[in-house]
Structure 1
Amino acid sequence: MVIALALAGAVQGGVSPARAEQNGTSAGRQLLFYNHAYGVLDRATADAIEHSSYLRDFANFQVRTTTGSGGQTWTGRYLMGRETYFELFGVGDVPGKDGTLGSAGLGVSTERAGDLPTVIERLRKAGISDPVEFQQTRDFGDGVPVPWFDAVFTTDQYDLFGAWGMEYRPEYFADPRGNTEPASHPGDVGRERYLSDAYRDHLMRDVTDIRLAVTARDLASTVPLLKAGGFAVRSLPGGGAVAKGGGTTIRFDSVPLDQVGLRQIEMSLNHPVSYRHVERIGHSALVVGPGSRAVWTFEEQDRPAAG
């Protein structure tokens, strides 16, 4: 999902940083889990990813254009696992500043129907005076928008990174074009149900660790959401943070605006491998094995020269 497109027409929220900081990690069970993240890469790297034959063997890999709310579209490169995935864009693949080099986003979702309102209530108690709530839809090509998921931001003000909490809608699961799975229990709106089992035919299983470089302002807006979702969030020297919970660790580096971006993704594999394979893809390196993990590092991108 693209941040600006989701925020179009939404009501602005407000953050009270002092109260949000005082509350620490929210009490109670974990309600939000890493769902997916996206990053905008330079054109050479995005094109290399799109045309990589190796990635089509390594993961359930797709290149697709999605039509969301208001007819807005975005084209991404998707690597999907059992419960988690990520999407990669090139500069200009999405409109506005969300298509800028280094732009990134993070979606964290519920597993049980009705948990998102609890997250929103936790946000209000933590000092988010008016969370930004919205509903995303998806058009499968017939011009009829299907409710896709409900979501919440802490604010509509951001530099180049935003995070949102989300809960999939029953209408989406009921539409066969979504290629989702049957519910495994009452109220199942989980990630495993949403994603197909095509991951079984590839090496990649799930995202276990992701590292993002964001501005201090964007990090300050993100931490309250993660805490409200039940993540254990720890501040780091230098202003960064680490959020743990639900099998995925999310690491944030606090950097100036001209250094933001997706930096690294670590994935579990469906089975261990005995070798170490390095696949260079544009300005990035995917290292697979040995063992049951792969690490994809995104190097310094081709940033435009300052004017």
Structure 2
Amino acid sequence: MKPQPNIDAIRRILVVGSGAMGTQIGALFALAGYDVTTSDLDASALDRSREEVRRRLGRLAEKGRRSSEEVESALARMSYTTDSFAAACEADFILEAAVERIDIKRKLFADLDAAAPDHAILATNSSTIPSSVLMDATTRPDRVCNMHFFNPALVMACVEVVRNPETSDATVDTTVALAEKLGKQPVRINREIPGFVANRLLRALRAEALELEAAGIASFEDIDVAARTALGHPMGPFELMDLVGIDVAYLVRAAEHEQTGNPADLPHPSLKKMYEQGHYGRKTGRGWYDYEAQP
């Protein structure tokens, strides 16, 4: 009988993918006292991730949100490697934060499953690809789930824990407890649905905002003002798209359409145009807003 997941057995974490989400999630685990390895095939991406973690945690210390000792201890618990599978051999919990492509994730999960200890949970941070399409690439479907963080992960409190039809209660309970140890507020999602919960709510708002802008009802700037001043949102839907990334918004909708086949799930033409032009928001200096022109 295979051992069941248990929060007390989790000591070493592997985060696969050193992009914006993987970088911050790794830092969260380290701040919570876990030994963390971040892996990526691209060594230069790992270098950028290491520097980004130092910068972000340094700012937490400067603002008094974390002590200098906490930050230094967290940094000392973090390591980086291009060999995901060697790191998986010692991991108790593995979180994948790689590109949003099912074929890549399935291959990755199969390889990680072969390397990881029997008790290890394999989780994906994907906001659109459910673990049910990944679980049969492994020999442990009961220990596979979504653990979906929100950007910026160091700030946003919500973590969605989504079970697939085979996910065990022990896996869900352990993943929820892990989110709580990170200081997050986990949301249990009992049945898979495209977009899960938070993004479905956000999608409805974003879709209406895009339609209002495309129809000339109001400018995207004024729509953002309405969201902030009337609804109390910290930022408007267009500002949020620029922060998260136009490319991310586009690829999320494309992935949802791939799952459902519903034409209504296709990315909005405005998103498609900006994606094809390479205007991804803050990360490229231009999205809905022009950040290069700002002082």
TM-score (norm: length of structure 1): 0.28
- Whichever of the two has the greater Rg, that structure is 2
Query: Between Structure 1 and Structure 2, which shows a larger proportion of helix residues?
Result: 2
TM-score of the superposed pair, with normalisation by structure 2: 0.29
